[in-house]
């Protein structure tokens, strides 16, 4: 027995269209399972806020290598190299690691070790002081 699990980029209309196409081609609905993603709830995705986590550098054999994504949609091109996050007036900015400015990011995990064990209330309190900040 073979089945299909589909859980990316779905909404009610796409599920209906997929099931119609399956039926039209002689496939039963019991051959597919749909995963519950954000599209079925609110259609908000990481692209809504233009947010993504991507690898930008790799440490290998004692040295750093730049890694980047360069897709056809140039608005989704990733930054390349190592970075730090700095405060500028009422905003944050991502800049190259060797540029001037104090890095506000902290290393929490390194090589599987928890370096900072912090209570959620402390994190929440710290984020509230930046509620009027923007990022770019």
The pTM assigned to this predicted structure is: 0.56
Q: Are residues 73 and 86 in the same domain?
A: no
- Say if residue 37 is in the same domain as residue 73: no
Shared-domain flag, residues 91 and 134: yes
Has residue 94 been placed in a domain?
A: yes
Q: Does residue 56 sit in the same domain as residue 106?
A: no
Q: Are residues 22 and 8 in the same domain?
A: yes
Q: How confident is the model at residue 73 (pLDDT cuts 50, 70, 90)?
A: confident
User: For the chain, how far is it from start to end, CA to CA, in angstroms?
Assistant: 50
What is the domain range of residue 11?
A: 4-41
Task: Tell whether 103 and 126 lie within a shared domain.
Answer: yes
pLDDT reading at 60 higher than 80:
yes
Are 103 and 125 part of one and the same domain?
yes
Q: Give yes or no: residues 16 and 57 share one domain.
A: no
66: in domain: yes
Report the percent of the chain where pLDDT is more than 90.
Answer: 49
**Number of domains, the chain:** 3
Domain-embedded: residue 46: no
Average pLDDT on 92-117 reads: 93
123: left (phi over 0), alpha (psi -120 to 50) or beta: alpha
Lateral strand order in the sheet of 91-96: 83-88, 91-96, 134-135
């Amino acid at each position: 027995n073979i089945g299909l699990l589909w859980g990316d980029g779905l909404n009610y209309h796409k599920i209906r269209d997929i099931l119609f196409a399956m039926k039209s081609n002689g496939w039963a609905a019991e051959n597919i399972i749909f995963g519950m993603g954000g599209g079925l709830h609110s259609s908000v995705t990481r692209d809504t806020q233009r947010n993504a986590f991507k690898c930008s550098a790799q440490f290998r054999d004692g040295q750093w290598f730049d890694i980047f994504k360069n897709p056809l949609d140039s608005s989704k091109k990733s930054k390349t190299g190592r970075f730090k996050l700095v405060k500028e007036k009422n905003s944050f900015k991502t800049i190259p690691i060797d540029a001037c400015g104090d890095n506000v990011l902290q290393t929490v995990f390194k090589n599987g070790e928890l370096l900072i064990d912090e209570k959620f209330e402390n994190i929440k309190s710290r984020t509230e002081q930046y509620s009027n900040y923007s990022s770019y």
